[in-house]
Amino acid sequence: MSNRPNFSKSGFILATVGSAIGLGNIWKFPYITYENDGGTFVLVYLAAVILIGAPLMMAEIFIGRHSKRNVVDSFKVVGKHPGMAGIWKGVGWLSLIALFFLIYYYSVAGWVIFYLKETIGWSVAGFNKTPAELTENFNAFLHNGNSQLFYSGIFLFFTALILSFGLTKGVEKMSKILMPALFTCLIIFVIAVSSQPGFTKAFEFLFHFDKITSKGVLEAIGHSFFTLSLGAGMGITFGSYLSKSQSIVKSTAMVVFFDTLVGLMACIIMYSIIFSIPEANRAESFGHSAVMLFTSLPKLLYNLPGGTFVAPLFYLAVGFAALTSTLAMGEVFITLFQEKLGWTRRKCAAAYVALSLIIVVPAGLSHGGVDSLAELNLVGDAHKGFFNILDYLVSNWMLVLAGLFTSLFIGWAFPAKPLREEMEEGHGTWKLFHIWRFSLRFILPAGIVWILVSVIQSL
């Protein structure tokens, strides 16, 4: 594969950070942390990111850089190392199917675009919505199938368009623009909320220590997979474009650091706003926490100093975060199509749109647009509807299973000597190599099996 491009040094880190930072950090992390009462949940999450997430991300990037192939063939190539059986390529397929299901992500990305449009309109015309009207507005939007398809379709189309420009002119260039823009926005928001009475309470909530339920521990570990884009071929695909002069270890450390920082910043921003409301009114103003980003936050953003400016900027920033994630998702497929089918990037991008519609359409219609999709019940009453079924299967099963097999593959099946050599390329002597390999062999599999057993027990 001599004509394969490479990311530039900052390009790899920014694109990988871009993939990791997304709706997981800004939409999911704040609400699951809120539901699990902050504090200890955050601590467990940090432990999971460091002990499980970071080692697995290094293993994925290793597979990519060592093989310089797409998500499926990489397992074949790395698996052919002398003395290894070739059974591992199924893991590549599993990651790919997980990523295919994950296309439901465009649905929520579409909501962000809708709220960007709404907040621009409200800022221009003057904002005067009551919380009840906002909830009604959101529910009407969810039930409107045409709107759902339109906004998620726009997001998909733009993602594919950028991808068609190529790796360096597409993903890399956009990440270099959007990631600094996102950080600038987040700093503006932190400044805007720092004058709110809830600011210190937000820190207290995040860093107090209390008991945690086993469900909370599971959720924290599961989220460490989702937020770092693990188990879905991203590390492998981006790693396949990483130059040998760059350190896998240091790059991973930076990605994990920035991803965690953004998750915590998103919590500080949202909780500062939430905790500024008197406790008695909180439940009523917040409604269901999973959708608070869309139902209650708009009103609260308008209460901030400079709200007419901050509110649309907030959804713009969330859109940036989501876009760099969908670009990474798309790149995994495009790299695969290019190498398997020999198509041009344009044709691959078009095929990606066609493939994505298979999920985007029913996912968008399952929020109330089409009753049979909204009521679909395959994995229990708690996860009803096409969208929720996919989210459940991906987050609870597929990402963690792919992670388990990847850690077994690199920890047990791949010989230590060439593993160490590749990990030290672009890095120099790596003293923690044995600890890393130990965690791939024991800590990760044990942790993941424990998650799976708990998921099975909860069935």
List residues near ligand TRP by CB under 6 A. Answer: 19-20, 22-25, 102, 226-227, 229, 232, 234, 325, 328-329
- The C-alpha atoms of residue 442 and residue 447 are separated, in whole angstroms, by 8
- The C-alpha atoms of residue 98 and residue 401 are separated, in whole angstroms, by 10
- When the beta carbons of 14 and 134 are compared against ligand TRP, the nearer one is 14
Nearest to 361 by CA among 146, 163, 161, 164: 146
- Find the shortest distance in angstroms from Cβ 329 to ligand TRP: 4
**Which amino acid belongs to residue 316?**
L
CA distances from residue 110 to 117, 372, 394 in whole angstroms, order as listed = 11, 22, 20
- When the beta carbons of 87 and 161 are compared against ligand TRP, the nearer one is 161
- Find the shortest distance in angstroms from Cβ 321 to ligand TRP: 7
- Find the shortest distance in angstroms from Cβ 306 to ligand TRP: 27
- When the beta carbons of 17 and 134 are compared against ligand TRP, the nearer one is 17
Q: Which residues contact 140 (CB under 8 A, 6 or more apart)?
A: none
- The C-alpha atoms of residue 121 and residue 110 are separated, in whole angstroms, by 17
Which tokens is 179 given?
A: 């990631």
- When the beta carbons of 267 and 419 are compared against ligand TRP, the nearer one is 267
- Find the shortest distance in angstroms from Cβ 402 to ligand TRP: 10
Phi/psi for 152 (5° steps) reads: -70, -30
Question: 56, exposed or middle or buried, with CB in 10 Å at 0-12, 13-18, 19+?
Answer: buried
- Find the shortest distance in angstroms from Cβ 422 to ligand TRP: 23
- Find the shortest distance in angstroms from Cβ 280 to ligand TRP: 33
**Which amino acid belongs to residue 280?**
A
Which of left, alpha, beta for 37 (phi over 0: left; psi -120 to 50: alpha)? left
With beta carbons less than 8 A apart as the criterion, state whether 267 and 206 touch. Answer: yes
- When the beta carbons of 23 and 297 are compared against ligand TRP, the nearer one is 23
- Find the shortest distance in angstroms from Cβ 88 to ligand TRP: 20
Half-sphere exposure of 327 (CA within 13 A, CB side): 35
Residue indicated by tokens 């499980």: 52
- When the beta carbons of 236 and 304 are compared against ligand TRP, the nearer one is 236
Nearest to 167 by CA among 304, 327, 288, 292: 327
- Find the shortest distance in angstroms from Cβ 334 to ligand TRP: 13
- When the beta carbons of 227 and 272 are compared against ligand TRP, the nearer one is 227
- When the beta carbons of 96 and 374 are compared against ligand TRP, the nearer one is 96
- When the beta carbons of 25 and 164 are compared against ligand TRP, the nearer one is 25
Which of left, alpha, beta for 129 (phi over 0: left; psi -120 to 50: alpha)? beta
- Find the shortest distance in angstroms from Cβ 258 to ligand TRP: 12
